[in-house]
Amino acid sequence: MAQAALAHLFTGDQATARATTTRAAELIDVASDATLLTNLEAAFQLGMAEGMLGRLVDAERHLTRGAALSKSTGQTYIHPQILTVLANAQLRSGNLRRALATLDETARHIEQVGNPATEVISAMVRAETLYWRNSPGDLQDAVATAEHAAAIAGDTPTAWAVTVRCFHAEFVLLTGDTARARSLLLDAAGGTHLPKLTTWRRPRWCDTLAQAAFTEGDHASVHHWAQLAETCLEQLPSTSRQGFALRARMRAHALGGATERAVRSAKEAITAFSDSDERIEVCRTLLTAAELSLHVGRTHEVANWLDHAGILADQCGSARLTEAVVHQRDRLAAAATVPDASASLTAREREIADLVSTGPPSTAVSSFTNWPCGAAPTSS
Mean pLDDT of the chain: 89
The pLDDT score that the predictor gives to residue 234 is 84
d(CA 196, CA 186): 10
pLDDT digits (tens, 9 = 90+) for 35-76: 999 999 999 999 999 998 889 999 999 999 999 999 999 998
Does pLDDT of 253 surpass 80?
yes
pLDDT digits (tens, 9 = 90+) for 109-139: 887 666 788 999 999 999 999 999 999 999 9
Residue 304: how many CB atoms within 10 A of its CB?
11
- The dihedral through the CA atoms of 232, 235, 241, 245 has a sign that is positive
Amino acid at 252: A
Q: Which of 48-57, 129-138, 232-241, 329-338 has the highest mean pLDDT?
A: 129-138
**Mean pLDDT of the 326-351 span:** 70
**Mean pLDDT of the 196-217 span:** 94
% of the chain at pLDDT higher than 70? 87
The pLDDT score that the predictor gives to residue 339 is 56
Residue 374: how many CB atoms within 10 A of its CB?
12
**Mean pLDDT of the 219-225 span:** 97
Does pLDDT of 236 surpass 90?
no
The pLDDT score that the predictor gives to residue 357 is 43
**Mean pLDDT of the 218-224 span:** 97
Question: Is the distance from CB of 196 to CB of 163 less than 8 angstroms?
Answer: no
**106 pLDDT tier (thresholds 50, 70, 90):** very high
Instruction: Return the ∠ at Cα 169 (arms to 13 and 187), rounded to 5°.
Output: 75
This model's pTM is above 0.75? yes
